[in-house]
Amino acid sequence: MKQLVEYKTISPAVTKAASEKFSNHMWYLSKELVALVFFDKSVTLATKRKMVNSLEKVPNKATMKRTKFDLRLTEKKELDDFVSKNTLQLLKKLQLPQQFLSNDPASWAD
């Protein structure tokens, strides 16, 4: 999506059409499902550390389950922006241990 924002200077019409279609598929950007990123090897340790720190954030009560995607804010958004206390709910629902989150992400593979 960030690359799509950059493409706006080349073709605003394509950017608008593509961003509208992509935004319909952003249902997975929720405060719970973002927990899956903790298990993604392609995500940097620095990002995972920021995500762990964001677990302390109290979720906005006005936030819907489905994240509303705003292309104008895309350049400013990072994965940790989608993390809050609600992120732990996925681990609880799947009955996965959460103790690993108290360790540094560099040791999670162990």
For residue range 21-68, list pLDDT tens digits in order. Answer: 877 766 666 788 889 999 999 999 999 999 999 998 877 664 445 555
CA dihedral 8, 11, 13, 16 (to 10 degrees): -30
Quote the pLDDT of residue 32: 87
Q: Tokens for 82?
A: 């989608």
For residue range 5-16, list pLDDT tens digits in order. Answer: 777 778 888 888
Share of the chain above pLDDT 70, in %: 81
Q: Which of 54-58, 75-79, 95-99 tops mean pLDDT?
A: 95-99
pTM of the model: 0.70
Q: Is 92 helix (H, G, I), strand (E, B) or coil?
A: helix
Quote the pLDDT of residue 64: 43
Confidence bin at 89 (pLDDT 50/70/90): very high
Quote the pLDDT of residue 75: 63
Long-range contact set of residues 46-54: C-beta below 8 Å, sequence gap at least 24:
47/78, 47/79, 47/80, 48/105, 48/108, 49/104, 49/105, 50/78, 50/79, 50/80, 51/79, 51/80, 51/83, 51/87, 52/101, 52/105, 53/80, 54/80, 54/81, 54/83, 54/84, 54/87
